[in-house]
C-alpha cells in the first residue's frame, strides 16, 4: 500500500508556472524580434553545406536566416508538401532546393513570387524561368559511381540504358526514385524515351535486382562498403566520399539523346511570405557568382552555370542532355507512379 | 495541491486532448482534395501490409525470445526487478540500425564471417529490419515478464526448485505462468514495430509506413493517405485491445503488488551458470556488441566534445522539448489518475480517454503529422498559433505521439492506490477533486515522474513528427543525427549516438529508481 505524502502546493504551483513560462517564452522567442531582421528559408540542400553559405549571408547583410531543413532522404519533396499545406499563409520566405523540378511544380501551383534577381543577370536563360519565378545555379550531374579497385572505366556501361545487363544483376544501388535528384532522373528518362520505353526500362532494372537506397549518399555508402559495384548518384556525393578517402570514381553515362543530365540548385521567393524584402536580398545573394564559387570550391564541387566562372575554375561539363527542365517536370507524375509501382514493391 | 490548480490541471488535460484530436481532424476535413480516396488498399499495398505484419510479428517473437532469456536470468539472480532495462529501451531505433549497419558491413568481422558462410547479410534488408527491431524492443516483454514474475510465477518456481535445477524449474514451472505477460509484451512490440518508420527507412525496406510517407511526399492528398492507412491503425488497435484484455483477465490491473522477494532462488553460483550465460549473451549481442562497434568506429575521441560545437541548435531544441514535455506528460498522467468510482472501478470516460490517446499513438506518423499541418493552416486562429508559437506546435505534436505512455501509466497507477484511504477521505467529506489533488496525486508522485521522464526522453529522439513539425531555426537532434548518417559524418553521428545512449542510461537510471521504489 502506498503511504500518502503531502507535497507543498506552492511547489506544484511554482513548478507548473515556471514550466509553462518556459514553453511560452521559448516558443515566442524567435518571433519577438522585428521581422525585418529575419528571413525564413526552407532548404533541401545538404545542411552542412548550406549553413556555411547562410552564415556568410548573415555576416554580410545582418539578416538572420531561420532555416528549416529536411531529412536527407526525403529532401525537397517533404518541404514542397509543407509549402503546399501552408499556401494560404506561408511561413517561409525563400525556398532553396537542391533540384529544380519541385520548384517548377511550386511555380505551376502559383506559390512563387515573380522576382528577377539583379545578381542573376549573367545566368544563361536555360537556367531561368521565363516568367522569372525561379532561378537555377550550381549544377550537379547524375553519374555512375564505382570502385576503381574493383572495376576499370572500360568495364563500365556508357549509357544508362546498358544497366539492365546481366553483369550488373544485384550490383546497382539507386536512391529512392520518389525523392530528390533521382526522382528528376527517372522523370528525365520518361521525357527523353517516352512513357512506354521508360516503364520497360524501370521494369528491367527491377528484374535485374536493383538495390534501392534511401538517398544518394546512402547509395554511395553501399558502394564504399562493397555491397554493390555501381551506384547511380550525384557528383557531389562522389566528391564527398573521395575527400573522405574512399576508393571511388565516376563516369557520366549518356541519356537517350547522348547527353548528361545536369541538375541545378534552384531558388525562389515564396509568394506572400512574411519578409519579402529580406527574401529578395537572400535570393540575390544565393544567385550571385560568389555563392556559385563557394559551392564550386566546397566539397560538393557544384559546377557553375555561368560559363566564364566554370572556365575560370577549370570545371568542364560533358554535353548536357537536350531535354528541357520544364518537360522533365511535366513527366514527374507519370514517372512517380511507375517508379512506385515497379521499384518500390 | 490547491483545488484551483487541480481544476487547472484537469482542464489543461482535456484541452490538450481536444486540441490534439481536433487539429488533425480539421486538417483532414478541410484538405483540398480532388483525389478520390479508395477505401480498399490496392494489391500492392496489401502486399506491403502483409510484409509489415510479418516483419513486425517476427520481430516481436524474436524480442520475446530474448526477453525470456533475460527475464529468467534477472528473476533468478536478483531480488530486484530489471528496471534498468528502461535505459536501453530509450536508445532510438535508428541508432540501433546505424550501429548494426557497421556490425554487418562486408568489411566488418561479423560481415566477413557471414559472407564466408555464404550469407551476404547486407542484402537482407528485411531480415536486418526484423533483427534490429527485436534488439530495440526486447526490454518491453522482459519488463512485463519481470512484473509477472511477482504474480504467481515466483511461487511456482520456488516450489519447483526443490526438485529441479533453477533453469528447468523456471522453464517448466515459471514459464507457463509468465506466458500471458510474454504475450502482452509481444503485442506491445508488434504495435511499436508496425508503426515504426526509421529502421525500415534506413535499411531501404518498403513497408506500409514508409509507403504512406512516400505517398504524402509525392503529393497524395492527406485524406487519401489517412484512408489508405486504416489497415495499420485497425491492426494496432486490435493488438492493443488484445494486450489490455489479456492482462486484465489476470486481474493484474487492480491487484496490489505482492511482497518483494527477500532472497535469490539460486542455491549456488554453479547453478547460475546457464541463466547467467543466457543473460550475458543476450545483453552482449543486442546491446553491448553494437555499442562497441560504434565506439570502434570513432576515429577521434575529441568528437565526443566537438558534437556540441556547432550543434547548439539541435541540443537547444532538445532542451526546449524536454521541459514542457515533462510538464505536459505529467499533466496527462496526473489527470488520468482519476478514480472514476469510489471503489476504483474504471468508467466509460476513462476508457474513451485512453482510447483517444491510443489512437493518437497508432495512427501512422505521416497521417497525423500531415493532417496536423493542414489543421493548423485551416483557420486564422490556428495559423496564428502555428506561426507565432511554432515550438508549442512541435511539443504538442511530440507529446501527442507519446501521451499514451502517460495516460496508461496514470490509469494503471489509479488502480494501485489504496481504496481504503480513498474511502476514508470520502467519508471525511472530501470531494472527488480534493481526493484527487490531496491524496491520489501525492501518493502517485513517483509513477507520475516516471511517465513524465519517459515521454520526454522518447520525444527528444522521435524522428518523423519532429521532421515534419519542427519550425525553422529549430532543427531537432533526431533530424540532424539522421542527416549526418546520410552525409557519412561518422564521427559526429557516433558521438551524438553515444551521448544519446548515455542520456538514455541516465534517464533510465532515475526512472528505474523511482519506479522500483513505488512498484515494489
The pTM assigned to this predicted structure is 0.83
Q: pLDDT confidence of B517, banded at 50, 70, 90?
A: low
- Compare CB distances from A4 to B202, B392, B442 and report the shortest one's residue: B442
**Which residues of chain A does B219 touch, with a Cβ-Cβ cutoff of 8 Å?**
81, 84, 333, 336
Mutate which of B299, B316, B332, B377 to disrupt the A interface (most A C-beta within 10 Å)? B377
In contact, A121 and A285? CB cutoff 8 Å: no
**Inter-chain touch A91–B470, beta carbons under 8 Å:** no
**CA B204, chain centre distance (Å):** 23
Q: What is the pLDDT of residue B60?
A: 95
Q: List Cα–Cα distances, A179 to A174, A186, B466, in angstroms.
A: 11, 10, 19
Nearest residue on chain A to B490, alpha-carbon basis: A244
Nearest residue on chain B to A274, alpha-carbon basis: B387
Per 3-state DSSP, chain B is made up of helix, strand and coil in percentages (nearest 5) of: 75, 0, 25
Please work out, in degrees rounded to the nearest 5, the angle formed at the alpha carbon of residue B504 by the alpha carbons of B498 and B508: 150
Residue A29 has pLDDT above 50, yes or no: no
Three-class SS state of B20: helix
| Averaged confidence pLDDT in chain A | 86
Within A38-150, where are the H helices? 47-61, 77-85, 101-108
Q: What is the pLDDT of residue B256?
A: 55
- Residue at grid coordinates 488498399: B41
**Inter-chain touch B324–A22, beta carbons under 8 Å:** yes
Positive or negative, the CA dihedral B164, B170, B174, B179 is: negative
Q: pLDDT confidence of A134, banded at 50, 70, 90?
A: very high
Mean pLDDT of the region B273-285: 84
**Inter-chain touch A214–B201, beta carbons under 8 Å:** yes
In contact, B414 and B440? CB cutoff 8 Å: yes
In contact, A170 and A322? CB cutoff 8 Å: no
In contact, B465 and B397? CB cutoff 8 Å: yes
- Compare CB distances from B324 to A19, A84, A212 and report the shortest one's residue: A19
Nearest residue on chain B to A41, alpha-carbon basis: B472
Nearest residue on chain A to B420, alpha-carbon basis: A1
Cβ–Cβ contact A41 with B under 8 A: yes
Residues 6+ apart with CB under 8 A from A126: A324, A325
Reading the block at residue A233, the C-alpha cell is 548518384
Mutate which of B35, B198, B218, B378 to disrupt the A interface (most A C-beta within 10 Å)? B218
Distance from CA of A253 to the nearest CA of B (A): 24
Distance from CA of A122 to the nearest CA of B (A): 31
pLDDT digits (tens, 9 = 90+) for B99-122: 888 888 777 788 788 878 877 766
**Inter-chain touch A217–B486, beta carbons under 8 Å:** yes
Q: What is the pLDDT of residue B306?
A: 77
Give the DSSP H/E element, type plus range, for residue A174: strand A172-175
**Which residues of chain A does B435 touch, with a Cβ-Cβ cutoff of 8 Å?**
none
**CA A170, chain centre distance (Å):** 26
First CA to last CA distance, chain A: 55
For residues B265 and A299, the model is more confident at: A299
**Which residues of chain A does B206 touch, with a Cβ-Cβ cutoff of 8 Å?**
212, 344-345
Q: What is the pLDDT of residue A66?
A: 92
**Inter-chain touch B470–A68, beta carbons under 8 Å:** yes
CA distance A12 to A266: 52
Reading the block at residue A310, the C-alpha cell is 566554370
Distance from CA of B47 to the nearest CA of A (A): 8
**Which residues of chain A does B327 touch, with a Cβ-Cβ cutoff of 8 Å?**
15-16, 19-20, 23
- Nearest Cα neighbor of A274 from A69, A57, A54, A41 is A41
Cβ–Cβ contact A113 with B under 8 A: no
pLDDT digits (tens, 9 = 90+) for A103-121: 998 999 999 999 999 999 9
- Compare CB distances from A77 to B211, B217, B483 and report the shortest one's residue: B217
pLDDT digits (tens, 9 = 90+) for A49-93: 899 999 999 999 999 999 998 776 666 777 888 898 888 889 999
- Compare CB distances from B377 to A16, A28, A85 and report the shortest one's residue: A85
**Inter-chain touch A72–B47, beta carbons under 8 Å:** no
Lowest mean pLDDT among B361-375, B488-502, B504-518: B504-518
CA distance B327 to A18: 10
Surface-to-core class of residue B427, CB atoms within 10 Å of its CB (0-12 exposed, 13-18 middle, 19+ buried): exposed
Which residues 120-159 of A have a C-beta within 8 angstroms of B? none
Q: For chain B, how long is the longest CA-to-CA vector?
A: 76
CA distance B400 to B360: 6
Cβ–Cβ contact A32 with B under 8 A: no
Which residues 244-303 of A have a C-beta within 8 angstroms of B? 244, 274
In contact, B429 and B358? CB cutoff 8 Å: no
Q: What is the pLDDT of residue B449?
A: 80
CA distance B453 to B423: 31
Reading the block at residue B274, the C-alpha cell is 546457464
The ipTM of this complex is: 0.79
**Inter-chain touch A26–B391, beta carbons under 8 Å:** yes
- A to B CB pairs, distance under 8 Å: 196
pLDDT digits (tens, 9 = 90+) for B126-147: 999 999 999 999 988 888 888 7
Lowest mean pLDDT among A208-212, A250-254, A330-334, B250-254: B250-254
Output Rg (C-alpha) for chain A, integer angstroms.
23
Within A144-194, where are the H helices? 180-193
Mutate which of B219, B379, B467 to disrupt the A interface (most A C-beta within 10 Å)? B219
**Which residues of chain A does B474 touch, with a Cβ-Cβ cutoff of 8 Å?**
30
CA distance B188 to B59: 11
Give the DSSP H/E element, type plus range, for residue B519: helix B490-519
Q: List Cα–Cα distances, B373 to A86, A100, A120, B114, in angstroms.
A: 8, 24, 34, 45
CA distance B501 to B517: 24
**Inter-chain touch A13–B2, beta carbons under 8 Å:** yes
**Inter-chain touch A13–B5, beta carbons under 8 Å:** yes
**Which residues of chain A does B6 touch, with a Cβ-Cβ cutoff of 8 Å?**
none
Amino acid at each position: 500500500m502506498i503511504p500518502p505524502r503531502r507535497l507543498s502546493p506552492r511547489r506544484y504551483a511554482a513548478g507548473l508556472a515556471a514550466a509553462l513560462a518556459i514553453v511560452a517564452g521559448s516558443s515566442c522567442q524567435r518571433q519577438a524580434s522585428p521581422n525585418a531582421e529575419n528571413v525564413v528559408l526552407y532548404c533541401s540542400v545538404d545542411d552542412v553545406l548550406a549553413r556555411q553559405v547562410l552564415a556568410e549571408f548573415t555576416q554580410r547583410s545582418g539578416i538572420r536566416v531561420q532555416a528549416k531543413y529536411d531529412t536527407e532522404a526525403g529532401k525537397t519533396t517533404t518541404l514542397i508538401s509543407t509549402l503546399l499545406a501552408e499556401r494560404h499563409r506561408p511561413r517561409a520566405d525563400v525556398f532553396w532546393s537542391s533540384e529544380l523540378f519541385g520548384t517548377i511544380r511550386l511555380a505551376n501551383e502559383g506559390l512563387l513570387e515573380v522576382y528577377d534577381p539583379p545578381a542573376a543577370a549573367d545566368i544563361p536563360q536555360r537556367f531561368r524561368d521565363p516568367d522569372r519565378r525561379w532561378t537555377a545555379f550550381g549544377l550537379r550531374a547524375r553519374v555512375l559511381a564505382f570502385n576503381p579497385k574493383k572495376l576499370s572505366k572500360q568495364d563500365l556501361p556508357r549509357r544508362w540504358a546498358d544497366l539492365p545487363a546481366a553483369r550488373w544483376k544485384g550490383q546497382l544501388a539507386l536512391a529512392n526514385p520518389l525523392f530528390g535528384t533521382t526522382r528528376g532522373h527517372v522523370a528525365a528518362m520518361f521525357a527523353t524515351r517516352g512513357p512506354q520505353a521508360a516503364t520497360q526500362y524501370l521494369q528491367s532494372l527491377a528484374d535485374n535486382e536493383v538495390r534501392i537506397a534511401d538517398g544518394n549518399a546512402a547509395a554511395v555508402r553501399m558502394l564504399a562498403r562493397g555491397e554493390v559495384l555501381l551506384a547511380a548518384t550525384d557528383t557531389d556525393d562522389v566528391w564527398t566520399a573521395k575527400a573522405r578517402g574512399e576508393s571511388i570514381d565516376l563516369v557520366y553515362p549518356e541519356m537517350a539523346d547522348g547527353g548528361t543530365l545536369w541538375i541545378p540548385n534552384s531558388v525562389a521567393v515564396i509568394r506572400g511570405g512574411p519578409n519579402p524584402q529580406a527574401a529578395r536580398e537572400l535570393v540575390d545573394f544565393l544567385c550571385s557568382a560568389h555563392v556559385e564559387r563557394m559551392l564550386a570550391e566546397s566539397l560538393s564541387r557544384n559546377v557553375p552555370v555561368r560559363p566564364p566562372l566554370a572556365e575560370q575554375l577549370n570545371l568542364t561539363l560533358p554535353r548536357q542532355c537536350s531535354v528541357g527542365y520544364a518537360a522533365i517536370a511535366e513527366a514527374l507524375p507519370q514517372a512517380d507512379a511507375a517508379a512506385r509501382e515497379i521499384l518500390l514493391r | 495541491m490547491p483545488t484551483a490548480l487541480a481544476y487547472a490541471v484537469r482542464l489543461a488535460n482535456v484541452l490538450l486532448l481536444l486540441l490534439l484530436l481536433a487539429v488533425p481532424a480539421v486538417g483532414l476535413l478541410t484538405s483540398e482534395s480532388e483525389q478520390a480516396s479508395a477505401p480498399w488498399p490496392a494489391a500492392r499495398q496489401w502486399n506491403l501490409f502483409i510484409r509489415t505484419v510479418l516483419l513486425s510479428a517476427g520481430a516481436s517473437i524474436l524480442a520475446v525470445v530474448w526477453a525470456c532469456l533475460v527475464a529468467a536470468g534477472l528473476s533468478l539472480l536478483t531480488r530486484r526487478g530489471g528496471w534498468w532495462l528502461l535505459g536501453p529501451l530509450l536508445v532510438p531505433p535508428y541508432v540501433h540500425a546505424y550501429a548494426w549497419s557497421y556490425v554487418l558491413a562486408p568489411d566488418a568481422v561479423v560481415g566477413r564471417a557471414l559472407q564466408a558462410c555464404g550469407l551476404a547479410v547486407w542484402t537482407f534488408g528485411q531480415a536486418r529490419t526484423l533483427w534490429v527491431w527485436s534488439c530495440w524492443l526486447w526490454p518491453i516483454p522482459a519488463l512485463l515478464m519481470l512484473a509477472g514474475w511477482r504474480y504467481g510465477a515466483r511461487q511456482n518456481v520456488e516450489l519447483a526448485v526443490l526438485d529441479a535445477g533453477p533453469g528447468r524449474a523456471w522453464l517448466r514451472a515459471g514459464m507457463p505462468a509468465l506466458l500471458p505477460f510474454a504475450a502482452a509484451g509481444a503485442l506491445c512490440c508488434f504495435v511499436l514495430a508496425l508503426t515504426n518508420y526509421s529502421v525500415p527507412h534506413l535499411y531501404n525496406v518498403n513497408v506500409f509506413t514508409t509507403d504512406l510517407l512516400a505517398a504524402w511526399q509525392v503529393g497524395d492528398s492527406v485524406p487519401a493517405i489517412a484512408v489508405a492507412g486504416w489497415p495499420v491503425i485497425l491492426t494496432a488497435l486490435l493488438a492493443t485491445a488484445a494486450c489490455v484484455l489479456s492482462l486484465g483477465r489476470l486481474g493484474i490491473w487492480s491487484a496490489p503488488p505482492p511482497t518483494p522477494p527477500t532472497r535469490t532462488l539460486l542455491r549456488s553460483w554453479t547453478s547460475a551458470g546457464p541463466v547467467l550465460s543466457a543473460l550475458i549473451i543476450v545483453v552482449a549481442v543486442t546491446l553491448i556488441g553494437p555499442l562497441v562497434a560504434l565506439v570502434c568506429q570513432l576515429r577521434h575521441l575529441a568528437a565526443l566534445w566537438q558534437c556540441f560545437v556547432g550543434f547548439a541548435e539541435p541540443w537547444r531544441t532538445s532542451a526546449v522539448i524536454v521541459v514542457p514535455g515533462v510538464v505536459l506528460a505529467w499533466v496527462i498522467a496526473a489527470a488520468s489518475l482519476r478514480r472514476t468510482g469510489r471503489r476504483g472501478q474504471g468508467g466509460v470516460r476513462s476508457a474513451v480517454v485512453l482510447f483517444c490517446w491510443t489512437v493518437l499513438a497508432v495512427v501512422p506518423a505521416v497521417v497525423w503529422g500531415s493532417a496536423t499541418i493542414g489543421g493548423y493552416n485551416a483557420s486564422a486562429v490556428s495559423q496564428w498559433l502555428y506561426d507565432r508559437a511554432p515550438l508549442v506546435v512541435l511539443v504538442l505534436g511530440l507529446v501527442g505521439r507519446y501521451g499514451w505512455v502517460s495516460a496508461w501509466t496514470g490509469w494503471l497507477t489509479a488502480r494501485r492506490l489504496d481504496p481504503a484511504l480513498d474511502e476514508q477521505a470520502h467519508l471525511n467529506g472530501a470531494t472527488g477533486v480534493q481526493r484527487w489533488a490531496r491524496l491520489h496525486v501525492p501518493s502517485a508522485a513517483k509513477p507520475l515522474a516516471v511517465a513524465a521522464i519517459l515521454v520526454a526522453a522518447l520525444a527528444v529522439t522521435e524522428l518523423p513528427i519532429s521532421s515534419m513539425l519542427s519550425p525553422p531555426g529549430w532543427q531537432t537532434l533526431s533530424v540532424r543525427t539522421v542527416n549526418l548518417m546520410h552525409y557519412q559524418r561518422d564521427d559526429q553521428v557516433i558521438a551524438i549516438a553515444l551521448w544519446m545512449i548515455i542520456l538514455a542510461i541516465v534517464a533510465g537510471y532515475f526512472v528505474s529508481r523511482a519506479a522500483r521504489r513505488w512498484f515494489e
